[in-house]
Structure 1
Amino acid sequence: MRPIHGLLLMAAMMLPATARASEDEQLWTTSSATVKLDDHWRLSQELVARFSDDRHGLYEIESNTLIGYKLSKAVTLWAGYTHDPQYAGGDFTVMEHRGRQQVTFDNIARIGPATLSARMRVEERWREGIDGTAWRLRPYVKLVMPFHEGGKTALILSHESFFDLNKTNFQRVQGEERMRNLIAVTTPLARNVNAEIGYLHQHGFRPGADDSNDHVASVALAFSF
């Protein structure tokens, strides 16, 4: 079996069964910029806009600001804040604030021609007008496989799970609440600009109700300075 065939098989195996699940088609657009402040410090800003058929258009604008400290070539510690207004059909509904801490592990292993990276993220969530602090854990792994040796255009496979660590009035599942699986292609557009286009499947676990499946067209631009 060729390496790329094996990686595609892995991606298929990560998708959960879709029986008895509600379906939604979505578009997620992401722009991000990472600035190297010196040999150790980094500043990252990311903006994500999410659109849904079921929610009649725009339903979330997520702004993530992080400061990072590079411990080594592979390991970086990050901390910051997420500003997350939410909408229904483009009309504002609720404001969510998050604290975010994470550690990233870049290119920590090779699987054939592919490189493996990982991240562990912890978030604290608050919603205006609703009592309680919601805690969750988000482990993430990513495989990047160039289409040819030494090339910068590559296939990406990634998996992320969301584990809710407690229950509040707005975080109602304790345990695994959702997972995201992505298959995408990344390619440089310019010296400091990368584009990523792909398909993301988000499966939500909903005790006492049908699970949810979001089929997402994902488009991202990343700038580095």
Structure 2
Amino acid sequence: MSAAIALFPTSAWASDDSQLWLTEFATVRVSDKWRFSQEIVTRISDQRHGLYEVESNSLIGYSLAPNLILWAGYTHDPNYDAGRFAIMEHRAREQVTLDDIRLGRLSMALRLRGEQRWREGMVGTGWRVRPFVRIALPLATQGQTGIAISHESFIDLNRTKFQAIEGEERMRNAVTLYTPIVTGLNVELGYMNQHRFIQGGSDGQDHAVTIALNAAFH
């Protein structure tokens, strides 16, 4: 089972799965132009019998204009099989983000992310892009508590032993409720559906409860 997950992560489990995703995210404003962000995402699966991934993302950002930031960094991504270490993935990550686009009471955030992926012990580099959009609506005028919906597609640009599809490999659709805990710290609770496109078989669905803590330091 470990080898199947390592080689074909999108097809090793094709049926529906219930999951829990725990995220801690922090952004530090280093200067007027420079930012640093650190994100850790822990993923737990019912079908995969517990912990299967701990994704750590470290990025440096440079502000090109108000709310427009260019980012680059590294992802450290160990994969697990029923809580036991299975294989290590490394990624280079580049992205551009445009935040706080106002449409009346709505606010929109856009992100275009590129990734290059490597897995230890395997030949090849997996290239992919990940367009993302999020729309948020406060529940009260001038309020900081609200509801958000988001969509992200994973589009693979080539094939490797661990990246088996060329084209759209999965998409994530989510709805979250967000609220501040204290100044500079928000919590988000939500549901995410991850649709996995499977070549030569039935598509799969992941149903994830998501809990996220987001901190901003100025």
Structure-2-length-normalised TM-score: 0.92
Per the alignment, residue 17 of structure 2 pairs with: 24
128, 142, 145: which one aligns with 1:150? 142
- Structure 1 match to 2:111: 119
Match of 2:77 in 1: 84
- SS across alignment from 2:65: coil
1:63 is displaced (CA, Å) by 0.2
Q: Which AA in structure 2 matches 1:203?
A: H
1:102 offset after TM fit, Å? 0.1
Q: How many pairs are equivalent? A: 204
Does 2:100 match 1:107?
Answer: yes
Counterparts of 1:74 and 1:164, CA distance in 2: 28
- 1:108 positional shift: 2.4
Task: State the Cα distance separating 1:206 from its structure 2 match.
Answer: 0.6
Aligned position for 1:42: 35
User: Shift of the alpha carbon at 1:46?
Assistant: 0.4
Q: Deviations over 1:121-175 (max 9, x none)?
A: 0000000000000000000000010001100001010000000000001100000
Using the TM superposition, give the Cα deviation of residue 67 of structure 1 relative to its aligned residue in structure 2, in angstroms: 0.2
In the alignment, structure 1 residue 73 sits paired with structure 2 residue 92: no
Partner of 2:4: none
Asked if structure 2 preserves the Cα contact closer than 8 Å seen for 1:22 and 1:211, the reply is yes
- Gapped regions of structure 1 (runs ≥ 5): 1-20
C-alpha distance in 1, partners of 2:102/2:94? 23
Moved over 3 A (4+): none
Q: Residue 28 of structure 1 contacts residue 219 of structure 1 at CA under 8 Å; is this kept in 2?
A: yes
SS in 1 for 2:38: strand
In structure 2, the residue matched to 1:165 is 157
Aligned residues of 1:104 and 1:120 also touching (Cα < 8 A): yes
Residue 208 of structure 2 corresponds to residue 216 of structure 1: yes
Matched, 1:33 2:26: yes
Partner Cα separation in structure 1 for residue 138 and residue 101 of structure 2: 16
Q: State the partner residue of 2:5.
A: none
Q: Does 1:94 align with 2:74?
A: no
2:171 to 179, 185, 190: 179
Q: Indicate if the aligned counterparts of 1:109 and 1:117 stay in contact, CA closer than 8 A.
A: no
Unaligned runs of 5+ in 2: 1-13
* Partners of 2:62 and 2:178 in 1: CA distance: 25
Contact 1:84 1:97 in 2 (8 A): yes
